[in-house]
Structure 1
Amino acid sequence: MIHFPLLLLLSLVGCDGYKFLVYSPIFGYSHTNFMGAIADTLTEAGHDVTLLMPIMDTEQEKKTGVKLTKKIVKVPGDPRVIEMMRYEGEILKQIWTMEPSIFALMQIATNMTKSFTFQCEKVFSDEALMKQLEDEKFDVGIAEAFSICGLGEYPSQGIFDLIKIPASIVTFSGVHMEAIAAAIGEPIAPSYVPGAIAREGDRMSFVGRVKNVIDVVLDRKFFTNIFESEISAFRRRFGPQFKGYEELFVDASYVVTNSNPYLDYPRPMLHKTVPIGGIAVSIDPKKNKLSAEWDALLNERNTTVLVSFGSIAKSIYMPHKYMYANGVEEYPP
């Protein structure tokens, strides 16, 4: 019995959480919300989490996506980025009435590529910020692959390398991204797996498969343009030896996606890819309590259908003639 208290005392080993740096540019609320959910989940588990948030869209500056994580470092937006985001905002106001145009789409894609590159330069050129983050001695860096600016792990390259973070995790707030899959050696099968921006399901005709291949190629090209532009910015600053974006993805320990394996289409995956779809959805009744205004609105009828168009097609700019669509009229209250 004498040894029991001693054994009990020896079993009380202190456990320290890891230090995480989550790189989350403010440019789209769904992306910010997803990264914020990851940060809060880690914080709730007892880890030390810091959020690094370059401000690309000043209208969303206060939307951090976090409730529990308190350490937030915001980086002011590059003036060129702010102007481009303003231009893009004016274009999106017309999205309900504008005619489909490949040229307008290409202009938006070009602006996004430049925006992420300029903002990346703004971050890694801030030597005081880089020194501040390096002194924190983070264990793991997490960044979304909409931009590769935050990726890299010591002694690789990237912002996480500049501040000597030894491990990195890639995330994406959508489903599986073809650009990442190709980089890490994960199979891409457009003949039977719908792409991320596919217009059809997994039962495709020959024409449907051709369209799916085109969608996969275009989606991959959109993201690789952003990645290559940012890599060029790093190489201009730090030299031509800077790794390509493919190697940054390969060096990452995991690729975490917002895909739900129960709802998504079956596809071949590596063990490196971890789907965590639904992490941003709260199932806690206390957290999901509605405000008095919404509670009263939803109690006016037995059934209410809420239609959301996301952050691209904002309903505030919807013409009145669209507000009572024929499809909705077919379902009387």
Structure 2
Amino acid sequence: MAPRVPAVLLPLLLLVVLAGGLAGVASAARILGVFPFPGRSHVVIYSSLLRGLAARGHNVTVFSAYPLDQPVANYTAVKLALDLSAQAELRKNKSMFSLGEQNPFFTVVMQHFIGPTYTEQALQQSSIQDLISATDEKFDLVFLEDLYADAFAGFAHKFDAPLIYMSPITGFPWTNDLIGNPSPDSYVPSIFSQYSDHMSFRERLLNTVLNTFSRLLVSSTYFKGFPDLPHLSEIIIQRTALVFTYARPGVSYPQPLLPNMIQIGGMHLKPVKPLPRDLKKYLDDASEGVVYFSMGSNLRSAEFPEELRDAFVKTFSKLKQKILWKFEDDQLPGQPQNLKISKWFPQNDILGHPNVMLFITHGGILSTQEALYHGVPLIGIPIYGDQAQNMKTLENLDCGLQLKYSDINDASFERVVKEALTNPKYLKRAKEVSRIFRDQPQSPLEKGVFWTEYVLRHKGTAHLRSAATDLSWYQYLLLDVVAVLVLVPAALVYCVLMLCRRLCCATKKIIIKDVKKKQ
């Protein structure tokens, strides 16, 4: 029997245990996050990490368009009042889904013109201007999103702090450039494309053009309020300590990674919570299984054109499975009895239910990773951004099927739904990929927290910095070396040919002179 600890020593013992638990934690730091791009799914990603850091005792201040719904200790959320009229106009005209008919070059151009406007609006906010001019503020670390937020790298200069970039996807074409991470266009497809990591010559050509085009369009926005501010590109190169991407090892396409490029995909995933009683009964009683349909937080199923809604309803009415559809109107014309609609569903908890057989989605990174985590096959209807690339990856994994928005009709939708439900390979592969997805030495949140505190402990990661960031573009691509390797041999060949020509001419003259002499 273990000896009992005297009651008088319990408070002291508690302090010792608490001190031991905090021994591996970096000293409480002040952390600043600025995320001007108004994407709700992006908020889910970065807030997962920043809330985890707040739970570790760090003081976190975050500027964004969508502050947290519930207060968190040590977490100060500052709302950026951005003009979202462009999104509202698309929604008003019910043209959000028309984006799915655009080519990737149009998507890049559209983002280039829309993205910087949010940065400029954020810079004009009084809360941002107050922070720019503040003389009594100090932050130990700055977080930025790698999507039109480069202007706020000036805060890293102002506070003499390391900079961490967070990507809400597996990585933009320009994300690797932040730290000089290699990203060969020959087998790393652009997230704006629908290519795999095995591309034909034509695809490699277009992928190279698309990535180059993307990099050329993305430029740093101005930053006001700092005297003697170095060029933003210099600040970014010198201050960027880490880049977090939302890729997932073993699931995303493999590519070279420097030690300060960290993959934390799946960080938003939470343990499955009990479902509401009525919803639990609906799923429990589905002896033939359940199909779950949601187009995410930004796209709304109620705004599908009428002919497409009718195509969905017609197919669903023929299935023996029950259907859950995130539908934002109170009524759905022609709704069959096996279909239940709601303006909101607890998606992660539903996907974790064993009776869910299929997930019909827009292909966003959060939704696809939730499905992979729970081993649920997918049908993707990608509309914009990285959605088509996400679904292409899942197609290559045999975890799902992709249906282009422009190809949807009664016959095509029914065909892919029945293929996904009746072909056992999709469920089998989804379960196999789920095991790969979960088989990691650390949870993504633990990984993100560790590396963030690593930066705080060492005041940056200069020891992990690649020499590639010190090279010009032509040096990085070895164009100067190629030029020497081509021009020097060419010059030697030219000199030899000229020498031979002169020798021939001289020999010819000697022969002619000799002949004349003999004559």
In structure 1, what residue type is equivalent to 2:96?
A: I
RMSD: 3.6
Answer yes or no: is the 8 Å Cα contact 1:181–1:188 preserved in 2: yes
Distance 1:244 1:116, change over 3 A: same
In the superposition, relative to structure 1, how do residues 106 and 193 fare at CA in structure 2: closer, same or farther (>3 Å)?
closer
SS of residue matched to 2:223: helix
Distance in 2 of aligned mates of 1:82 and 1:98: 17
Q: Is the counterpart of residue 215 in structure 1 residue 226 in structure 2?
A: no
Structure 2 residue ranges without an equivalent (≥5): 1-11, 316-412, 423-519
Matching residue of 2:76: 72
CA separation of 1:239 and 1:281: change in aligned 2, threshold 3 A: same
Instruction: Tell me which amino acid in the other structure corresponds to 1:275.
Output: Q
Shift in Å, 1:68? 3.7
SS of the residue aligned with 2:291?
A: coil
1:161 offset after TM fit, Å? Answer: 3.2
For 1:100-139, list aligned pairs within 5 A: 100-101=101-102, 105=107, 108-123=110-125, 126-130=128-132, 135-139=136-140
Partner of 2:149: 148
Shift of the alpha carbon at 1:126? 4.5
Partner of residue 233, structure 2: 245
Does the 8 Å CA contact 1:51/1:73 hold for their aligned counterparts? yes
Q: Hey, what's the Cα distance between the residues in 1 that align with 2:178 and 2:108? A: 24
What is the CA deviation profile of residues 188-239 of structure 1, one whole-angstrom value per residue up to 9, with x for unaligned ones?
Answer: 21112222233121122222222322332344345x1xx42x2xx316x557
Question: 2:36 touches 2:118 (CA, 8 Å); kept in 1?
Answer: no
* Higher helix fraction (1 or 2): 2
* Partner residue of 1:281 out of 269, 280, 289: 269
Equivalent residue number for residue 48 of structure 1: 59
SS of structure 2 residue aligned to 1:178: coil
Give the secondary-structure state (helix, strand or coil) at the position aligned to 2:244.
Answer: strand
Structure 2 counterpart SS, 1:267: coil
Residue aligned with 1:177, SS = coil
Q: How many residues align?
A: 299
**Secondary structure of the equivalent of 2:295?**
coil
Say if 2:74 is the partner of 1:86: no
Whole-Å separation in 1 of the counterparts to 2:228 and 2:86: 28
Report the CA distance shift for 1:280/1:188 in structure 2 as closer, same or farther (over 3 A): same
> Does the C-alpha gap of structure 1 residues 258 and 106 become closer, same or farther in structure 2, counting only changes over 3 Å?
closer
The answer (yes or no) to whether the contact 2:31–2:141 under 8 Å persists in 1 is yes
Q: Are 1:265 and 2:260 matched, yes or no?
A: no
CA deviations on 1:264-285 (whole Å, 9 max, x unpaired) are 1111121111111111111x34
Runs (5+) with no aligned partner, structure 1: 56-60, 153-157
Q: Which residue of 2 aligns with 1:206?
A: 201
**1:328 aligns to 2:323 (yes or no):** no
User: Cα offset for 1:246?
Assistant: 6.1
- SS of 1:310's equivalent? coil
Question: 1:307 is matched with which residue: 289, 293, 307?
Answer: 293
Residue-by-residue CA offset, 1:134-184 (whole Å, 9 max, x unaligned): 6452211111111224643xxxxx13434x252221111111222121242
Q: Which residue of 2 aligns with 1:298?
A: 283
For residues 59 and 47 of structure 2, the distance between their equivalents in structure 1, rounded to whole angstroms, comes to 14
Q: Secondary structure at the match of 1:321?
A: helix
2: CA distance, partners of 1:246 / 1:321 = 54
- Larger mean CA deviation between 311-320 and 323-332 belongs to 323-332
Match of 1:58 in 2: none
TM-score, structure 2 normalization: 0.50
Checking the alignment, whether the CA contact within 8 Å between 1:34 and 1:65 is kept in structure 2 is no
Amino acid at match of 1:191: S
Cα shift at 1:289: 2.8
1:18 deviates by 1.8
- 2:223 maps to a residue whose letter is F
Q: CA deviation at 1:39?
A: 0.9
Aligned to 1:234: 223
Work out whether residues 40 and 298 of structure 2, in 8 Å CA contact, stay in contact via their aligned partners in 1: no
User: Within the alignment, does 1:159 sit opposite 2:148 as a pair?
Assistant: no
| Alpha-carbon shift at residue 129 of structure 1 (Å) | 4.1
Partner Cα separation in structure 2 for residue 199 and residue 171 of structure 1:
23
- Tell me if the contact between 1:51 and 1:72 (Cα under 8 Å) persists in the aligned partners: yes
> Quick one: distance in 2 between partners of 1:246 and 1:181?
16
Normalization by structure 1: what TM-score? 0.74
Shift of 1:98: 7.1
CA 1:89 to 1:106, structure 2 compared with 1: closer, same or farther past 3 Å?
farther
Instruction: Decide whether the 8 Å contact of 2:182 with 2:257 is kept in 1.
Output: yes
SS in 1 for 2:124: helix
Note closer, same or farther for the CA distance 1:136–1:292 as it changes in structure 2 (3 Å cut).
farther
| Alpha-carbon shift at residue 329 of structure 1 (Å) | 4.6
Q: What CA deviation, in whole Å up to 9, does each residue of 1:102-151 have, x standing for no partner?
A: 6975774354234223223224784434456x645221111111122464
Contact 2:116 2:148 in 1 (8 A): no
Partners in 1 of 2:420 and 2:113 — Cα distance? 41
The answer to whether the 8 A contact 1:171-1:255 is kept is: yes
* Distance verdict in 2 for CA 1:277–1:332, change over 3 Å: closer
Write the letter of the residue equivalent to 1:188.
S
Letter in 2 for 1:274: I
* Change in CA separation of 1:173 and 1:69 when aligned onto 2, cut-off 3 Å: farther
Is the 1:37–1:65 Cα contact (8 Å) retained in structure 2? Answer: no
Query: Which protein has the larger Cα radius of gyration, Structure 1 or Structure 2?
Result: 2
Letter in 2 for 1:206: F
Counterpart amino acid of residue 21 in structure 1: L
- Residues 310 and 220 (structure 1), Cα distance of their counterparts in 2 relative to 1, 3 Å cut: farther
Tell me the distance in 1 between the aligned counterparts of 2:211 and 2:298: 21
Once the two structures are TM-superposed, the CA of residue 253 in structure 1 deviates from its matched residue by 1.0
| Cα distance change, pair 76–142 in 1 and its aligned pair in 2 (3 A) | closer
Alpha-carbon distance in 1 for matches of 2:283, 2:226: 56
Retained in 1: the 8 A contact 2:37–2:118? no
Report the Cα distance in structure 1 between the residues aligned to 2:191 and 2:91, rounded to whole angstroms. Answer: 24
AA at the equivalent of 2:148: S
Rounded Cα–Cα distance in structure 2 between residues aligned with 1:143 and 1:183: 12
